[in-house]
């Protein structure tokens, strides 16, 4: 008997079509795994009844040979995507018991293609964080541990529940969002693949907004192929999101195994940060060598604005967040804390409903948008953003097909290690990922090795706008050279 949860998404999909087992059997295997893995806190809502009903429909369709591209495949969905009739909280107290009456476009696309909802995954509150420690529902634990140690590690954030679900074999694939690195960083920490598509590739409609000009939905998979399969179903034009691109969706899976011969890979010298860990540097060099061995050409490039990306991001993102989060006032959704009058009710509700990090972002955002500071901070950050984008455009115009960098400056850290003291410590985690969101580009993180303590490390490939296929081809080449990584089960 095969262990159903050990199959990749592609393997499960193919086996379902061949009727090796049923969608119901697959769902039951995952539901049993979920039950045994509650210590990881990867899900804020398990949806067994929903999952079983969807699996039954899939089995009917498969029996008739009518299955969609994801028929019967069980997924974890970050609790930032509105799911009709299924509680959606953005992992915030303020959205307590909010049950949407509509479905996000991305999840609707997945269900259209036959996927099965297993449950909603834990995340940082309103997707603000890099460790999944800001969730109202408590932190997610990484399924990984340092060799010979029982220290609890973070899975990365903000899509930490989705990354953990995939790495710990609690779902065949998962969906997250990435505003400054929230798919790529947890993918790297958990030893799996994660992709942030080009801004506009997937509809943002029905996703709880954090920073609208940066947010993008994307897939997590155990393999590059699994991510390619998921993206094809997620992506596509949506008239309900005016920033969603009206472009055909390629068959991304066809890019897996495509030759990368002759591709030009940029190595940006500014990403060689002072004090960078030797292990990260070595990993990066190894990744470059793998691509060279596969026939790609390496070129050193310069992205001089890199050092301004993090400060500019931490102005733009809170500014947009402060505006987006103004809607949570106790009137229309979720929590309401009574006050003497309506103003006091707003204040009490927002004070009780938002966690510390979210309140910090709202205050920073309100400050940088306020009269007198708007020009000095917000407007300048927007100008810097344009320059960051121009850096990438210059590199691509010079013939670079993709850019290779480490995904994170280190492997996963311990719970509490960076969240207790200075918030800047946490923000520094995003140093290699935020530039991509500022420029609206696609990027993938692929596991590339283990550090000296046995923890996974990822490499990031950044592509031209809408060149996700190039990233899948290059990502698959790295994957082939590096192999795959799975945590030892302890939960
Ligand atoms: N860590 C970044 C932040 O806290 C990015 C979060 C994200 O991508 N959602 O803003």
Residue 119, domain member (yes or no): no
Q: What is the pLDDT of residue 300?
A: 98
159 Cα nearest atom in ligand 1 = 9
Average pLDDT of the segment spanning 193-210: 98
Q: What is the pLDDT of residues 171-188, one digit of tens each?
A: 999 999 999 999 999 999
Residue 313, domain member (yes or no): yes
Average pLDDT of the segment spanning 241-263: 98
130 Cα nearest atom in ligand 1 = 1
Q: What is the pLDDT of residue 333?
A: 83
Q: Which of 90, 154, 157 best tests ligand 1's pocket when mutated (most atoms within 8 Å of CB)?
A: 157
From the list 58, 78, 120, 131, the catalytic residue is 78
Query: What does the alpha-carbon distance between residue 346 and residue 337 come to, in Å, rounded to a whole number?
Result: 8
Question: What pLDDT band is residue 425 in, cutting at 50, 70 and 90?
Answer: confident
Average pLDDT of the segment spanning 323-327: 97
DSSP string, 270-300: GGS-TT--HHHHHHHHHHHHHHHHTT-EEEE
Q: What is the pLDDT of residue 287?
A: 98
Helices (H), 410-467: 423-427, 434-439
Q: Which of 78, 90, 121, 124 best tests ligand 1's pocket when mutated (most atoms within 8 Å of CB)?
A: 124
Q: What is the pLDDT of residues 76-103, one digit of tens each?
A: 999 999 999 999 999 999 998 899 999 9
Residue nearest to atom 4 of ligand 1 (CA): 129
Instruction: Give me the number of domains the chain comprises.
Output: 1
213, 313 Cβ separation under 8 angstroms: no
Q: What is the pLDDT of residue 274?
A: 81
81, 219 Cβ separation under 8 angstroms: no
Question: Ligand 1 centroid to 22 CA: how many Å?
Answer: 38
Question: Ligand 1 centroid to 440 CA: how many Å?
Answer: 15
Residue 280, domain member (yes or no): no
Q: Indicate if the pLDDT at residue 420 is higher than 80.
A: no
The reply to whether 78 belongs to the active site is yes
Residue 348, domain member (yes or no): yes
Residue nearest to atom 10 of ligand 1 (CA): 128
Average pLDDT of the segment spanning 243-261: 98
Q: What is the pLDDT of residue 293?
A: 98
What whole-number percentage of the chain has pLDDT above 70? 100
Name, in order, each residue with C-beta under 8 angstroms of 105's C-beta and a sequence gap of 6 or more: 202, 203, 205, 206, 238, 240, 241, 244
Q: What is the pLDDT of residue 327?
A: 95
Q: What is the pLDDT of residue 457?
A: 98
210 Cα nearest atom in ligand 1 = 9
Q: Which of 1-5, 78-82, 392-396 has the lowest mean pLDDT?
A: 1-5
Question: Ligand 1 centroid to 158 CA: how many Å?
Answer: 6
Q: Which of 160, 182, 183 best tests ligand 1's pocket when mutated (most atoms within 8 Å of CB)?
A: 182
Q: Which string of b and e fits 180-206 if b means at least 16 CB within 10 Å?
A: bbbbbbbbbbbbbbbbbbbbbbbbbbb
Question: Ligand 1 centroid to 80 CA: how many Å?
Answer: 13
Q: What is the pLDDT of residue 436?
A: 98
What is the average pLDDT score of the chain?
97
Residues comprising the chain, all counted: 491
Q: Which of 121, 317, 409, 460 best tests ligand 1's pocket when mutated (most atoms within 8 Å of CB)?
A: 317
Tell me which residue has tokens 């420029």: 439
Question: Ligand 1 centroid to 486 CA: how many Å?
Answer: 25
Q: What is the pLDDT of residues 103-150, one digit of tens each?
A: 999 999 999 999 999 999 999 999 999 999 999 999 999 999 999 999
Average pLDDT of the segment spanning 297-315: 97
Query: What does the alpha-carbon distance between residue 432 and residue 307 come to, in Å, rounded to a whole number?
Result: 10
Residue list, ligand 1 pocket, CB within 6 Å = 127-130, 158, 178-182, 210, 317, 430
Q: Which string of b and e fits 296-321 if b means at least 16 CB within 10 Å?
A: beeeebebebbebbbebbbbbbbbbb
Residue 368, domain member (yes or no): yes
Tokens read off for 317: 């993102």
15, 40 Cβ separation under 8 angstroms: no
Question: Ligand 1 centroid to 108 CA: how many Å?
Answer: 25
Question: Ligand 1 centroid to 359 CA: how many Å?
Answer: 15
| Nearest CA-CA partner of 110 in 234, 238, 240, 237 | 234
From the list 158, 159, 233, 322, the catalytic residue is 158
Residue 369, domain member (yes or no): yes
Question: Ligand 1 centroid to 211 CA: how many Å?
Answer: 9
429 Cα nearest atom in ligand 1 = 1
Residue 474, domain member (yes or no): no
Residue 324, domain extent: 307-375
The reply to whether 142 belongs to the active site is no
Question: Ligand 1 centroid to 90 CA: how many Å?
Answer: 13
Residue 166, domain member (yes or no): no
Q: What is the pLDDT of residue 147?
A: 97
217, 440 Cβ separation under 8 angstroms: no
Tell me which residue has tokens 């309900």: 240
H or E stretch including 66? none
From the list 182, 203, 233, 419, the catalytic residue is 182
Q: What angle do CA 29, 97, 139 make, to 5 degrees?
A: 60
The reply to whether 182 belongs to the active site is yes
Average pLDDT of the segment spanning 464-473: 98
């Amino acid at each position: 008997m095969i262990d159903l949860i050990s199959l990749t998404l592609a393997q499960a999909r193919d086996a379902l079509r061949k009727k090796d087992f049923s969608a119901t059997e697959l769902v039951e295997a995952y539901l049993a795994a979920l039950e045994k893995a509650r210590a990881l806190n990867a899900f804020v809502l398990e949806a067994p009844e929903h999952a079983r009903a969807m699996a039954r429909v899939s089995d009917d369709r498969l029996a008739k040979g009518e299955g969609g591209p994801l028929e019967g495949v069980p997924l974890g969905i970050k609790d930032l995507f509105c799911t009709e009739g299924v509680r959606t909280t953005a992992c915030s107290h303020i959205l307590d018991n909010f049950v949407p009456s509509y479905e996000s476009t991305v999840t609707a696309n997945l269900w259209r293609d036959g996927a099965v909802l297993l449950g909603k995954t834990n995340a940082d509150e309103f997707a603000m964080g890099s460790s999944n420690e800001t969730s109202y529902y408590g932190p997610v634990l990484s399924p990984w541990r340092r060799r010979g140690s029982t220290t609890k590690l973070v899975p990365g954030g903000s899509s930490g529940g989705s990354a953990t679900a995939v790495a710990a074999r609690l779902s065949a694939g998962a969906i997250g969002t990435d505003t400054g690195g929230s798919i790529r960083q947890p993918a790297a920490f958990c030893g799996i693949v994660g992709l942030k598509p080009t801004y506009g590739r997937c509809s943002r409609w029905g996703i709880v907004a954090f920073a609208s000009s940066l947010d993008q939905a994307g897939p997590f998979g155990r393999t590059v192929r699994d991510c390619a399969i998921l993206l094809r179903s997620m992506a596509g034009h949506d008239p309900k999101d005016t920033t969603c691109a009206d472009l055909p969706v390629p068959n991304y899976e066809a890019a897996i195994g495509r030759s990368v011969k002759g591709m030009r890979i940029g190595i940006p010298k500014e990403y060689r940060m002072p004090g960078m860990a030797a292990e990260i540097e070595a990993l990066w060099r190894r990744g470059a060598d793998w691509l060279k061995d596969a026939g790609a050409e390496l070129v050193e490039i310069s992205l001089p604005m890199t050092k301004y990306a993090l400060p500019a991001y931490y102005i733009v993102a809170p500014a947009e967040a402060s505006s987006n989060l103004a809607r949570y006032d106790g009137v229309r959704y979720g929590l309401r804390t009574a006050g003497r009058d309506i103003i006091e009710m707003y204040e009490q509700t927002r004070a009780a409903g938002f966690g510390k990090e979210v309140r910090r972002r709202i205050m920073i955002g309100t400050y940088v948008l306020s009269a007198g500071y708007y020009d000095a901070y917000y407007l300048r950050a927007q100008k810097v953003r344009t320059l960051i984008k121009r850096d990438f455009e210059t590199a691509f115009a010079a013939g670079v097909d993709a850019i290779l960098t480490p995904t994170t400056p280190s492997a996963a850290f311990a719970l509490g290690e960076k969240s207790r003291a200075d918030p800047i410590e946490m923000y520094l985690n995003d140093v290699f990922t935020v530039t991509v969101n500022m420029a609206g580009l696609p990027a993938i993180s692929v596991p590339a090795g283990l550090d000296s303590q046995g923890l996974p490390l990822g490499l990031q490939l950044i592509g031209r706008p809408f060149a996700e296929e190039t990233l899948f081809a290059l990502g698959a080449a790295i994957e082939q050279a590096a192999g795959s990584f799975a945590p030892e089960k302890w939960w």
